[in-house]
Structure 1
Amino acid sequence: MRNPVFNSPKLLAKFSALSQWIAYSLLLGLLTSTSNSAIALPTQLPLVAQSQSTPTTNRVQTQLQGRWEVKDPVSGQTLTLIFTPDNKLFMLLPLGSGAPVALPFGYRINPTPKPMHLDVILPEPNQVVLTIFELTDKGQLRLQLAGTNPGQPRPTAFTADADVFQKISEETTLPPDVLTAADMKTQGEQMTADLERQAQTARETEGKLNVAAMSRAQQAFQLEFEKFAPKFEDISIGFQPETDNYSYRIVPQGNQTQSVMMTARSKRPELRSYTGAVFVVKSETNDMITITGTCETDQPSSKPPAMPATPRQSTDKIKCPVGSHLVGR
């Protein structure tokens, strides 16, 4: 799975185990309802592996702590690793043109073998990536990322495409402009909520616009036939009486010459319903004209508002029944 927020396939391909988790946590977890445990560090991180030479372990551990960077020569993007004294490893990935995101892992080392062993502990239970590293005479970190996956044997030697990181700082804390996985989860949840609100607004706009279109079609029908159309197929409109969001109806009133009611009944629990009304009333010059209005339920409802009361004259504002309000005329 390709991660859409990290545009360096070369770097991701080198550490497929991490890239799989990155894609999972960012693309799926952060934009849906992934639990907090999916992005949290394990409750107890394994300690640094001990050997007969404790001073060597401490020296290597101390050398490893800090911030390391490697740049992709093709894209120019930078991958940053931060090793902390308490066995946490943060991978900082570029997030488009904005602040990078820090993904948390655990780690443990064994400095005795040559090359030395590094275990990267993924947040998912029992997911560990076994790899090798060395600290060169030039103060660089050579790390075998290519060809590593959870459950696979540890590589025994560096390959030609092993990455060489430069140490840029002894700091072991996250930079202030970095987003954490928790930040990404919050942003993803907010984005999801915003998208849901936009989708709801778009669906409700369908109901309002279609009821308004039915009202205009009824005005045209009344002008030609001096009565209102009793059936949906009698008026020319560009939509069907049933959509994914609404069920539309014409509800004739009386002898069909003085008023007509059109409804949009919500088929989704989060949507409001609508009633459109067209009335024949006297104008200020005593001519008979039609006026329209659309009532929207105050809350999501599968029951459209009742028919508004008939206005006495053309200048009167249509009054929607209790539990609804006027949204168009």
Structure 2
Amino acid sequence: MQYPLFKNSSHRWLTKLTITLAIASGVNTALFAMPHNNLASLGQAIAADTIELPAEAQKLVGTWQLTTPNNESEPYTMVFTSDGKLYLIHPTRKIGVAAEYQINSLNGETYLDVFHGGFGSRTTFSINAKGQLIIQQLFMPAAMQYSNYTGNLPAIVGNVLMPNMLRLVRISNDTKLDASIEFPSFVSSATLALQSGAKTYIGVINRGHQAFFLEKEYFTNKLEELGLGIETESKNYTYQIVVLDSKKAVQSTVLAKEDNLKSYTGLVYITKSPEMKEDIARSLICESQKPTRKMPPKFNLTSNPTCPEGYIELSRY
């Protein structure tokens, strides 16, 4: 079974959430982070007859509050539900990470096992005399499988030193989640690879339009005229061009054919160069915020165009 995790998003708070989840020093991560299927062999493993401890689990059920290690002014909440779900949420940004947990016992020791993105993490926990939940060595390795919307992997372990203990305060026994909170889905490496290819193609097409306009002084809606050797359709994407104004702007789209893929759209537009004070062809590339097979809206032609609704800017040059 795959456990949901968030991906590359257009929001910097996703990276902050991943950092909050990667609670382990570089020395200890190898001991606590393993594929879910192999978690049972950690140390000597969870015994074949895993002992579930409902009484211990019940102590966790509810909503707890923590602060990020680097900024105590930004509170996060962690929700443990009675059916084994675990959520880390930024309540003001309305975005979160979903995982699953179990309480297990081995050789007289009680553990909190967290499953996240197909991986498992074993940690210890306790509740102190003040009622605070103390979690030791919580590490969710699948967080590092995700990139932000620019396609760069967040640098966590090895570049950010994290404490190996969290203190949480119970703020409610309620586990009901705000319906407006977004939990971005797990994205496989295969999907990321396809989307990376689509981003490359939209960039190539934009550069083709720039070169074509430099030579012809107008824009074309025929992909073959750009001389790029790109077909109008591939297995996973279709390539479309709309001339917004033959002398001013052209919009290209790499549109997904599958429901789990993001789409991409680009704009090449003519503007005045502030340095040379002459017309130049600028390029803008945008990515859909969510997977979509729907054609994007047309760009509004202004002096400084922005991405259409539902899309975020990847690059401008």
TM-score interval, smaller chain: 0.3 to 0.5
The answer to which structure has the higher strand fraction is 2
Bigger fraction of residues in helix: 1
- TM-score normalised by length of structure 2: 0.43
The answer to which structure, 1 or 2, has the higher relative contact order (CA under 8 A, 6+ apart) is: 2
| Structure with max Cα Rg | 1
